[in-house]
């Protein structure tokens, strides 16, 4: 059977310049191939995204394998959407639209199939496999490894030949705005992509981040947006059969977009170490970009009046209309997000993730789907199933609306918690339900995409129905055609100005160079000077193990949940320490600043937590933090947290190097002095409400190693109030302490097997209020016990009350114990005094050198069983040795009696 696709009119091999009566050939085979590739990769990419979202609620889900871990799936999700879905969809549209817009065929069918093969089998597929196998780069929107990036660049060069060259001889008076966007998008992305991928490997830290910021925005602004807008500008008039409202405005929008979009880049790093002039320039450009989008969308929507019937009946047009409205919303949202008063609050939160999904699904994907459906109805041999397509639209619209609304609210909730002094994990707990809703909202989105695919393959096979009823609207303004045709000859440009591709290429290079000059090169020079001036002379580089750990950190996507960038904001400084300075990142190739916080910032991780805590946390984060959503990394271990592989040790070494240079050089302490000049007005440190225990000059993240004088927290004396405190303390204990201390406080939590020294058995000792307050306030240096001073004072008091309740009242001392006290005292002074002090007050000559410090028996009274056990076996992980072989049974009994008798008696010397 002969189909229209085989008809000579539509086959390749036509003369490159068509006579007025002939039409250029259209590569329908390539259109179909790219459409199917786009939908296959779309469904796979959405499945990746669904797994990523599911892991927020069920972090252990498919968590046993490296290739299925959150970070790698997340890389593949975004790169799959970027290259697989949108790339193929755009290419399909180019093959449909370029011959119409240029009145010439694309350059070559062979070239087209080469491009198809490279795009899918040298970029998307190997990119996914390599990322899953652990070969990637931690650069946002550039996660595929460099070897794949090289093929992306090659593909864009081929695209320039395939799609830009047909416009070579096009008259400017014939070049419709969609053609401009196609040319501009290809040219600009061809220039920006290699720089965004390569420069951060060559320029370190803050300087590299300035370039990264450009590409993060250029990926959306120079690749996604121009091609999606090209489709919108094409589908609307082609469906309504009426010209767009104003081609002049469309061209103003085009040039404004390409001028201001690249200048937006640094708005991803507001309040960072990048020079403020560059940040503010990016913010102003963001405002202009919002105005530009208002202009573009107004023009597009003004092209629709009188076509409401068409828009409601024609599903492709409805997809495009939804995309255009989303474009307006998401762009204005983006502009507002860049403004400092908003940015300081919502940056790093799920608000931005909602924004991204509105951009990539609501705007780009809806328009791409509209474009595909539009062309599918107009190419020979293919039609869509309208009912399915309609269902697809509504499922996607409902799912996306739910997802974006949910993430937006989640972001505001996270931001609210981050502004407070509450523990970081509270922000995770606060949005757990929102993450579940987000995952559920992904289901109708996935169903919508699958139905779209089904609608394409189950449509009626009508070779005779070339133009759909809705597209055959009798509103063609034929008189306008004639007017426009005639007018185009009255005004013309001559010379090189008459060639669209020359103008676009020249402007592309110019705008590209301008954005890199003002947002990356000049700020980079300023940063380099600052680093030279400020950096410590002996700033240590990373060891080989730390360097390997850094690669693992990047490979596993750690930077997508943890920033290494403390912003010049009071909330950041209060929580994490002094703002990150450029010199701290001078060895970071590439920078790992990150643009999202699900976990806390890690740039001051040096000396914060002990080795065993870190390893246990890597093995399974919920072993030490019950409500953590961090992925487990069991493949870094040989079966248990006690058996780390070299990879775990390397990653640990890297984590423990973060902030080392700053700490060793004394910068951290200087910056915490209240008299330090604020970097911005926001840096004026606010006074905390007295309800919060945290002093403003001590970062919340700083855990362990403190010996501040703690406020003594006494539980309520009234029995009713005490009962209430114990009850609340139990809830707090279960949420924050049970992972290590066990549900009943016996020191047998999930983490206990891999922590050394083991968590305290809180049932085996009686503690004074002073001791419990001190531990909760300062943590216990040399152990995994962190300080909890960030909790409100009433919570700390409730915990004290609850821990008291865990201890059963001891029976009255036996007579023989009283008799042996004097013996015990003498033994204690001789055998234990050097550490515990002669009177058990930890004032022995070596007490100050031991971590963890020896027990102060005036503040802690072990049970007889516990004291006996310690004397028998010692305390592994501390300086306390076993005394079984050195002391007889009666002597040990005497010691047990003596140390227990010290509790709550006056002590001499410094208290611990």
Partner 1 sequence: MINLIVIVISAIMFGLLLVWWRWPAFRAWIEAPKYFMLRQERRFDDQLKG
Contact between 446 and partner 1 by CB under 8 A: the answer reads no
How many CB atoms are closer than 10 A to CB 126? 17
* Rounded least distance, CB 21 to partner 1, Å: 9
> Cβ closer to partner 1: 100 or 692?
100
* Rounded least distance, CB 776 to partner 1, Å: 48
* Member of 36, 63, 68, 100 binding partner 1 (CB under 8 A): 100
> Cβ closer to partner 1: 485 or 543?
485
The C-alpha atoms of residue 94 and residue 368 are separated, in whole angstroms, by 11
Written as six digits, the tokens of 288 are 């202009």
Stretch that binds partner 1, among 238-246, 424-432, 759-767, 827-835 (CB under 8 A): 238-246
Written as six digits, the tokens of 419 are 């502004």
Written as six digits, the tokens of 779 are 């943590």
The C-alpha atoms of residue 400 and residue 394 are separated, in whole angstroms, by 10
* Member of 312, 485, 646, 707 binding partner 1 (CB under 8 A): 485
* Member of 25, 76, 78, 103 binding partner 1 (CB under 8 A): 103
Contact between 483 and partner 1 by CB under 8 A: the answer reads yes
> Cβ closer to partner 1: 82 or 271?
271
Contact between 12 and partner 1 by CB under 8 A: the answer reads no
For residue 860, the cross-strand partners are 767
> Which residues neighbour 582 within 8 Å (Cβ) at sequence distance 6 or greater?
205, 206, 207, 273, 527, 530, 531, 534
* Member of 106, 187, 285, 776 binding partner 1 (CB under 8 A): 285
Contact between 457 and partner 1 by CB under 8 A: the answer reads no
Contact between 29 and partner 1 by CB under 8 A: the answer reads no
* Rounded least distance, CB 11 to partner 1, Å: 13
The C-alpha atoms of residue 557 and residue 686 are separated, in whole angstroms, by 34
Stretch that binds partner 1, among 483-491, 541-549, 659-667, 851-859 (CB under 8 A): 483-491
For residue 701, report the phi and psi dihedrals to the nearest 5 degrees.
Answer: -70, -20
* Member of 67, 135, 255, 589 binding partner 1 (CB under 8 A): 255
Binding letters toward partner 1, positions 509-548, x by CB under 8 A: ---------x------------------------------
Contact between 263 and partner 1 by CB under 8 A: the answer reads yes
Stretch that binds partner 1, among 242-250, 344-352, 801-809, 901-909 (CB under 8 A): 242-250
* Rounded least distance, CB 324 to partner 1, Å: 17
How many chain residues are in contact with partner 1, going by CB under 8 A? 54
The C-alpha atoms of residue 617 and residue 229 are separated, in whole angstroms, by 46
Contact between 280 and partner 1 by CB under 8 A: the answer reads yes
Cα→Cα distances 94→28, 505, 835, Å: 11, 18, 79
Written as six digits, the tokens of 598 are 């699900």
Residues 346-385 that bind partner 1 (CB under 8 A): 378, 380
Contact between 692 and partner 1 by CB under 8 A: the answer reads no
> Cβ closer to partner 1: 233 or 553?
233
DSSP, residue by residue, 502-517? HHHHHHHHHHHHHHHI
The C-alpha atoms of residue 849 and residue 861 are separated, in whole angstroms, by 23
For residue 819, the cross-strand partners are none
* Rounded least distance, CB 522 to partner 1, Å: 9
> Cβ closer to partner 1: 102 or 652?
102
Phi-psi region for residue 348, left (φ > 0), alpha (ψ -120 to 50) or beta? left
Stretch that binds partner 1, among 174-182, 385-393, 435-443, 854-862 (CB under 8 A): 174-182
CB 856 within 8 A of CB 800: no
Written as six digits, the tokens of 206 are 């803050």
CB 831 within 8 A of CB 844: no
What element of type H or E holds 572?
helix 570-576
The C-alpha atoms of residue 46 and residue 40 are separated, in whole angstroms, by 10
Stretch that binds partner 1, among 169-177, 211-219, 414-422, 450-458 (CB under 8 A): 169-177
Contact between 469 and partner 1 by CB under 8 A: the answer reads no
CA angle 206, 210, 215 (to 5 degrees): 135
* Member of 37, 53, 101, 655 binding partner 1 (CB under 8 A): 101
Stretch that binds partner 1, among 248-256, 422-430, 566-574, 792-800 (CB under 8 A): 248-256
Cα→Cα distances 313→306, 310, 378, 468, 469, Å: 13, 5, 16, 11, 10
State whether the Cα torsion 705-706-710-715 is positive or negative: negative
* Rounded least distance, CB 280 to partner 1, Å: 6
> Cβ closer to partner 1: 119 or 176?
176
Best CA proximity match to 324, nearest among 365, 267, 383? 365
> Cβ closer to partner 1: 180 or 345?
180
Contact between 107 and partner 1 by CB under 8 A: the answer reads no
Residues 767-806 that bind partner 1 (CB under 8 A): none
For residue 862, the cross-strand partners are 765
* Member of 17, 462, 480, 734 binding partner 1 (CB under 8 A): 480
Best CA proximity match to 467, nearest among 314, 638, 571? 314
Contact between 168 and partner 1 by CB under 8 A: the answer reads no
Stretch that binds partner 1, among 200-208, 214-222, 473-481, 842-850 (CB under 8 A): 473-481
* Member of 25, 178, 620, 805 binding partner 1 (CB under 8 A): 178
Contact between 11 and partner 1 by CB under 8 A: the answer reads no
What are the helix (H) ranges across 222-314?
A: 225-240, 247-260, 276-302, 308-313
> Cβ closer to partner 1: 58 or 481?
481
Contact between 301 and partner 1 by CB under 8 A: the answer reads no
Contact between 460 and partner 1 by CB under 8 A: the answer reads no
Stretch that binds partner 1, among 277-285, 675-683, 691-699, 866-874 (CB under 8 A): 277-285
Binding letters toward partner 1, positions 378-417, x by CB under 8 A: x-x-------------------------------------
DSSP code at position 626: T
Contact between 579 and partner 1 by CB under 8 A: the answer reads no
Burial 3-39 (b: 16+ CB within 10 A, else e): eebeeeebbbebeeebeeeeebbbbbbbbbbbbebbb
* Rounded least distance, CB 174 to partner 1, Å: 5
Stretch that binds partner 1, among 259-267, 649-657, 723-731, 862-870 (CB under 8 A): 259-267
Stretch that binds partner 1, among 316-324, 488-496, 622-630, 727-735 (CB under 8 A): 488-496
State whether the Cα torsion 770-772-778-781 is positive or negative: positive
Cα→Cα distances 475→217, 438, 470, Å: 40, 43, 11
The C-alpha atoms of residue 694 and residue 117 are separated, in whole angstroms, by 59
Cα→Cα distances 334→243, 327, 401, 697, Å: 30, 10, 17, 33
> Cβ closer to partner 1: 642 or 680?
680
> Cβ closer to partner 1: 379 or 693?
379
DSSP, residue by residue, 450-503? HHHHHHHHSS---SS--S-TTT--TT--HHHHHHHHHHTTTS---GGGGBHHHH
> Cβ closer to partner 1: 284 or 887?
284
> Cβ closer to partner 1: 250 or 603?
250
- Name the site residues for partner 1 (rule: CB under 8 A): 4, 9, 23, 100-101, 103, 173-179, 234, 237-238, 241-244, 246-248, 250-252, 255-256, 259-260, 263, 277-278, 280-281, 284-285, 288, 378, 380, 466-467, 476, 480-481, 483-485, 487-488, 490-492, 518
């Amino acid at each position: 059977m002969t189909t229209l696709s085989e008809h000579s009119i539509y086959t390749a091999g036509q003369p490159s310049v068509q006579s007025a009566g002939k039409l250029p050939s259209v590569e329908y085979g390539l259109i179909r191939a790219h459409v199917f590739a786009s939908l296959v990769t779309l469904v796979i990419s959405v499945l990746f995204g669904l797994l990523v979202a599911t892991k927020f609620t069920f972090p252990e889900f498919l968590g046993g394998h490296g290739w299925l871990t959150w970070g790698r799936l997340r890389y593949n999700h975004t790169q799959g959407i970027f290259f697989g879905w949108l790339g193929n969809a755009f290419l399909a549209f180019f093959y449909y639209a370029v011959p119409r817009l240029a009145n010439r065929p694309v350059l070559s069918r062979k070239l087209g199939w080469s491009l198809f093969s490279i795009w899918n089998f040298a970029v998307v597929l190997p990119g996914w496999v390599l990322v899953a196998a652990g070969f990637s780069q931690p650069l946002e929107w550039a996660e595929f490894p460099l070897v794949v990036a090289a093929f992306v660049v090659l593909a864009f060069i081929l695209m320039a030949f395939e799609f830009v060259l047909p416009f070579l001889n096009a008259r400017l008076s014939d070049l419709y705005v969609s053609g401009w966007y196609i040319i501009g998008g290809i040219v600009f992305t061809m220039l920006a992509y290699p720089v965004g991928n390569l420069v951060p490997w060559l320029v370190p830290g803050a300087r590299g981040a300035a370039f990264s910021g450009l590409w993060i925005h250029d990926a959306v602004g120079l690749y996604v947006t121009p091609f999606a807008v090209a489709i919108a500008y094409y589908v609307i008039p082609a469906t309504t059969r009426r010209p767009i409202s104003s081609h002049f405005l469309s061209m103003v929008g085009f040039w404004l977009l390409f001028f201001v979009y690249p200048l937006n880049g640094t708005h991803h790093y507001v309040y960072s170490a990048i020079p403020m002039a560059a940040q503010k320039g990016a913010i102003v450009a963001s405002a202009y970009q919002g105005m530009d989008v208002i202009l573009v969308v107004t023009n597009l929507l003004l092209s629709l009046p009188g076509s409401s019937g068409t828009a409601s009946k024609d599903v492709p047009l409805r997809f495009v209309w939804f995309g255009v409205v989303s474009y307006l919303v998401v762009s204005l949202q983006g502009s507002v997000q860049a403004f400092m008063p908003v940015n300081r609050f919502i940056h790093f939160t799920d608000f931005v993730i909602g924004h991204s999904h509105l951009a990539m699904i609501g705007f780009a994907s809806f328009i791409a789907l509209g474009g595909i459906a539009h062309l599918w109805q107009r190419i020979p041999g293919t039609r869509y199933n309208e009912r399915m397509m309609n269902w697809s639209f509504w499922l996607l619209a409902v799912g996306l609306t739910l997802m974006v609304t949910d993430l937006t609210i989640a972001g505001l909730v996270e931001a609210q918690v981050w502004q407070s002094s509450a523990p970081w994990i509270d922000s995770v707990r606060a949005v757990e339900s929102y993450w579940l809703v987000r995952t559920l909202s992904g289901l109708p989105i996935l169903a919508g995409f699958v139905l779209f695919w089904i609608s394409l393959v189950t449509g009626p096979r009508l070779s005779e129905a070339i133009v759909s009823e809705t597209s055959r609207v009798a509103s063609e303004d034929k008189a306008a055609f004639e007017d426009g045709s005639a007018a185009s000859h009255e005004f013309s440009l001559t010379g090189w100005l008459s060639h669209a591709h020359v103008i676009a290429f020249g402007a592309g290079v110019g705008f590209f160079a301008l954005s890199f000059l003002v947002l990356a090169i000049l700020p980079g020079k300023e940063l380099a000077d600052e680093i030279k001036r400020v950096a410590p002379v002996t700033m240590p580089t990373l060891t080989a193990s730390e360097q390997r750990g850094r690669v693992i950190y990047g490979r596993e996507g750690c930077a997508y949940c943890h920033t290494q960038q403390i912003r010049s904001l009071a909330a950041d400084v209060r929580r994490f320490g002094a703002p990150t300075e450029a010199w701290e990142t001078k060895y970071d190739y590439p920078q790992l600043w990150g643009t999202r916080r699900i976990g806390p910032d890690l740039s001051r991780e040096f000396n914060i937590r002990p080795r065993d805590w870190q390893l246990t946390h890597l093995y399974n984060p919920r072993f030490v933090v019950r409500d953590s959503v961090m992925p487990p990394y069991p493949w870094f271990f040989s079966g248990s947290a006690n058996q780390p592989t070299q990879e775990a040790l390397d990653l640990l070494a890297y984590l423990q190097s973060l902030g080392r240079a700053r700490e060793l050089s004394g910068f951290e302490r200087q910056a915490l002095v209240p008299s330090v000049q604020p970097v911005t007005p926001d840096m004026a440190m606010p006074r905390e409400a007295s309800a919060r225990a945290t002093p403003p000059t001590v970062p919340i993240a700083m855990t362990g190693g403190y010996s501040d004088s703690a406020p003594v927290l006494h539980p309520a004396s009234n029995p009713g109030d005490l009962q209430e405190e114990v009850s609340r303390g139990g809830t707090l204990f279960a949420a924050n302490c049970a992972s290590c201390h066990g549900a009943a406080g016996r020191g047998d939590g999930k983490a206990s097997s891999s922590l050394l020294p083991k968590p305290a058995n809180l049932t085996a000792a009686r503690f004074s209020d002073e001791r419990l307050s001190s531990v909760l306030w300062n943590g216990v240096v040399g152990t995994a016990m962190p300080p909890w001073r960030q909790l409100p004072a009433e919570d700390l008091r409730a915990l004290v009350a609850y821990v008291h309740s865990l201890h059963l009242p001891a029976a009255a001392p036996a007579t023989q114990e009283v008799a042996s006290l004097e013996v015990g005292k003498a033994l204690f002074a001789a055998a234990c005094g050097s550490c515990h002090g002669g009177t058990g007050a930890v004032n022995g000559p070596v007490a100050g050198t031991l971590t963890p410090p020896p027990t102060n028996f005036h503040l802690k009274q072990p049970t007889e069983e516990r004291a006996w056990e310690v004397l028998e076996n010692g305390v592994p992980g501390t300086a306390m040795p076993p005394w079984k072989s050195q002391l007889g049974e009666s002597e040990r009994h005497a010691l047990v009696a003596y140390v227990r008798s010290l509790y709550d008696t006056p002590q001499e010397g410094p208290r611990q």
